[in-house]
Amino acid sequence: DIQMTQSPSTLSASVGDRVTITCRASQSISSWLAWYQQKPGKAPKLLIYKASSLESGVPSRFSGSGSGTEFTLTISSLQPDDFATYYCQQYNSYSRALTFGGGTKVEIK
Amino acid sequence: EVQLVESGGGLVQPGGSLRLSCAASGFTFSSYWMSWVRQAPGKGLEWVANIKQDGSEKYYVDSVKGRFTISRDNAKNSLYLQMNSLRAEDTAVYYCARPIFAAQYQDYYGMDVWGQGTTVTVSS
């Protein structure tokens, strides 16, 4: 099974900061990677799909990059509404399985 | 409005069974794969199962294989998760979600619609 490792697990930042979260796969997953934002008590929200495509309605300060085994989610200028937990998710077309990373909590510094 | 609404959660003893339901509205349910995703208290997200549009293909995470069964009724716009032989580690909020696949299940574009979740507690 492919393992997804997110780092850091917790990140303290201030409004206006540039924030980068990394997700590493234990083997190549091409570009079948998605990023989600989750706030306490709420369902996850899709931000990025296919590693770098912005979901409709998501602010352009969010961006994704990478392919193969290393991927990043960047928030160009952190806003108050962005304090949340972020998850990456990979799709393995051979095993037909989906796997989430462990999550990164973005906290107020 | 595109919407998924889960129901059926509750308290069940270890070894017991529970059936979750997810009612879909606002989109052509029969045209989409569907998924169940769970989140244990204070933990991260875990994909549980996927089912193809016509129910002919089903995939599960290893930890639930042989115990959980995903199914759907396209006439009722409903998704189900039958959970048997429940264990304490199955305690979680269970979400139904709509994954977007293309090209004969080779391409994946994320889960774009989620329900609000239903809570399952396995405890004696």
Closest approach of chain B CAs to the CA of A54, in angstroms?
A: 11
Residue B103 has pLDDT above 80, yes or no: no
Per-chain mean pLDDT for chain B: 97
Q: Does B40 touch chain A (CB under 8 A)?
A: no
- Using alpha carbons, select from A102, A98, A105 the residue that is nearest to residue A2: A98
Higher pLDDT, B104 or B6: B6
Residue B114 has pLDDT above 80, yes or no: yes
Q: Which of residues 67-106 of B touch A (CB under 8 A)?
A: 95, 97, 99-100, 105-106
Confidence at residue A1, expressed as pLDDT on a 0 to 100 scale: 82
For the stretch A23-36, pLDDT in tens is 999 988 888 999 99
Give the contacts of B120 (CB within 8 A, at least 6 positions apart).
B9, B10, B12, B18, B20, B38, B83, B86, B90, B91, B92, B93, B94
Q: Where are the beta strands (DSSP E) in A43-103?
A: 45-49, 53-54, 62-67, 70-75, 85-92, 97-100
Confidence at residue A73, expressed as pLDDT on a 0 to 100 scale: 98
For the stretch A67-105, pLDDT in tens is 989 999 999 999 999 999 999 999 988 888 999 999 999
Which tokens in the block code for residue A104?
Answer: 């990164």
